[in-house]
Structure 1
Amino acid sequence: MKVLVAEDQADLSRLLKIAIEHEGFTVDIANNGQEAVDLAAQNAYDVMILDIMMPVKDGITALKEIRQAGDDTYIIMLTAMTEIDDRVNGLDAGADDYMTKPYSIKELMARLRTLDRREKQYEQPLLQFGDLTLDPDEQRIESHNSISLSGKETKLLSIFMSNPNKEIPSQQLLNTVWDDDDQAEPADLWIYISYLRQKLQSINAHVQLVGNQDGPFALTTLE
């Protein structure tokens, strides 16, 4: 799981980074709201943690811009105990959850673990991008016609369709799709990217996977 933390207090952001990485997740740090918006536009995250009180652009403004860009990543807002209006505004603006300061790092890590389990266990909704539809549970894609996918092909395409037009590094894809026991390498990823490209062409989908053998890769619409 990949996490974005937007927190301008250097000591706290450093502590959060250590704690999240200890759970086996990867994490990016944004020092202000604008950096959070920029990173969200460039990268595929499973969870974003946004502090409300940040310089350059506050957390509520950053949240609104992220949602307006069509990003539906799970977002947790961090608020001070007295900021009741900010908590309400944050939820109304599209936040999924909030924690009040001072908060327990252990509780935050427990929430991240819960989200990670839910992502792996629950049925996934249909995903759509351009003229392409993916049914993750049935492992099938459809455009002008349809074709079945393997489990790893489904996981890969789910990531791309949840983060269209974003360049996703090869290592992030390997960490997300392959278990530690698989010991997959970039060459394995390239093979599956090639499979997906062939299947997208076979159903005449007007979308494409761009990127060379070393990555990063992105799902875009055909011109």
Structure 2
Amino acid sequence: MMQLTGLVELPLLLLLMSSYQDMCLVQSSVLQEVPFPLHSNASLPCDALMLSLAAGEEYRSLTWYRLNHPTGEERSGLLQKRNGSIKYYRYSRPAGFSLGDEGHLELGNVTAGDSGVYQCLLRANLGGRNRHSDIYLCVDGCPERIQPQDPAVMSHRCPVMSLEALSPAAIVIILLCVLSAVGLIVALLAVLVYRRNTAAHHQKAGMPTEEPNTKQKHQLLSNI
């Protein structure tokens, strides 16, 4: 039983790692910068959507995030489009924001406080893979170009796994791995308890603690 549990657990872990690796590889290799003048209307494109449409892939939702928000939050949700309807999150911005054509994020009357990294995340249907693209908005010029090697940028290029970012298939795989691991631990504990109880019973009864097979071998050798 323990060997069977290990054989089931290993392929599931490998499949989960492969799924997460695919989710990281579909990102752009260069962080795109888009400069906009102060108090202008900014339109941020979603490259992930363009790649998904070009590949003929379908997705179940499109979500825009603000990364490294000045309030200290690592990622703040702005809006999400799903099944043709748009849901707005509690993101505070005086001039507001909206979803434009082709998945663009529209920001009106931008200020220096709007400068930063924004992320467009596509959550795939069951069996597909998620895509996301990051874009750097710099209001009133970009004095310093952010390179992909920058730790502040790299920390978002392959984000930590979360249930929100994973596809349903990956969540099922995680649950199966957890259940198989728990089953393996329970089986090991049961074996240890059984051996301890057996040894205690033999000691109390004054019986040898040798295994039956070993005892039979000794008897055969003594009869020769």
Task: Give the shorter-chain TM-score range.
Answer: under 0.3
Please give the TM-score of this superposition, normalised by the length of structure 2. 0.23
Which structure carries more relative contact order (alpha carbon 8 Å, separation 6+)?
2
* Structure exhibiting the larger radius of gyration computed from Cα positions: 2
